[in-house]
Homo-oligomer: A and B are copies of this chain.
Amino acid sequence: MGRRKRARPRLSEEAFVARCRAHGLAVTEQRRRIFAALAASRDHPSAEQIHRAVRERLPNLSLATVYKNLEALRRIGAVSDVNTLHDQGRYEAALLATGKGEPHHRLVCVSCKRILDLPDKGFDALRVSPSLTQGFEVRAVRVQVEGVCPQCRRKRRSPRRRKP
C-alpha cells in the first residue's frame, strides 16, 4: 500500500470533497483518509489492506466503516471495485477430451456474474510488450469481455443477482 512515497493527490482530494457534497455525503476524517489511501496506492487494495493502512493514523477506525464507505463511494462513482467476480469460486473441467487447456478468453455478465468461454483465435495471438510488464513472469494473456447477457438484458427489472 501507500507506505513509501508521500504521494499527495491534492487535485483528486478537492474533487473528492466536491463529489461527496454533491451527493449529500458528509466529509469525515475516515472517509477522506479511506479515499486518500485508495488514491495513493498503485495496486488495488482489499478492504483489510485499506483498513490496516488508514489505521496507522486513525487507530480506532473499524473495518465495518471501511466497507460502508467503499460501498457509499462506489455509489457516487468515486470508487470502483476492480474484481467483479469476487463473490464465489467458479470451476471448469480441464484438459482431457474436452478440448480445453488453452488460455481461453471470457464473456462475463456484469449483472448475474455468469462466465462463458469466448473462443477467439484472434485474441489467442495477443502478446504483451515486456516493457510494460513491470518484472512479471507472464503466464497467460486473457481477454475478458464484460457485458450484459441475454437473460439479464431481458429481465432488466429483475436481474438474476446483486447490486443495481
Complex CA gap A35/B93 in Å reads 7
Assembly CA distance A109 to B135 (angstroms): 11
A162 an interface residue at 8 Å Cβ cutoff?
Answer: no
Cα of A88 to Cα of B66 in the assembled complex, Å: 14
Cβ of A161 to closest chain B Cβ, rounded Å: 11
**Bound CA–CA A117/B10 (angstroms):** 21
Question: Is B83 in contact with A85, judged by CB distance below 8 angstroms?
Answer: yes
Mostly, the A contact residues are mixed
Please state if A89 and B86 are interface contacts (CB–CB under 8 Å). yes
Q: How far is the CA of A43 from the CA of B47 in the complex (A)?
A: 29
Contact indicator B129/A120 (Cβ below 8 Å)? yes
Q: A38-B92, A89-B81, A91-B44 are in contact. Are A147 and B143 (CB under 8 A)?
A: no
Q: For chain A, residues 89 to 106, give those with C-beta under 8 angstroms from any C-beta of chain B.
A: 89-98, 106
Q: A143-B142, A143-B143, A149-B135 are contacts. A15–B96 as well, Cβ < 8 Å?
A: yes
Interface residues of A (CB under 8 A from B): 9, 11-12, 15-16, 19, 35, 38-39, 42-48, 50, 70, 74, 77-83, 85-98, 106-107, 109-110, 114-120, 122-123, 126, 128-129, 132-150, 153
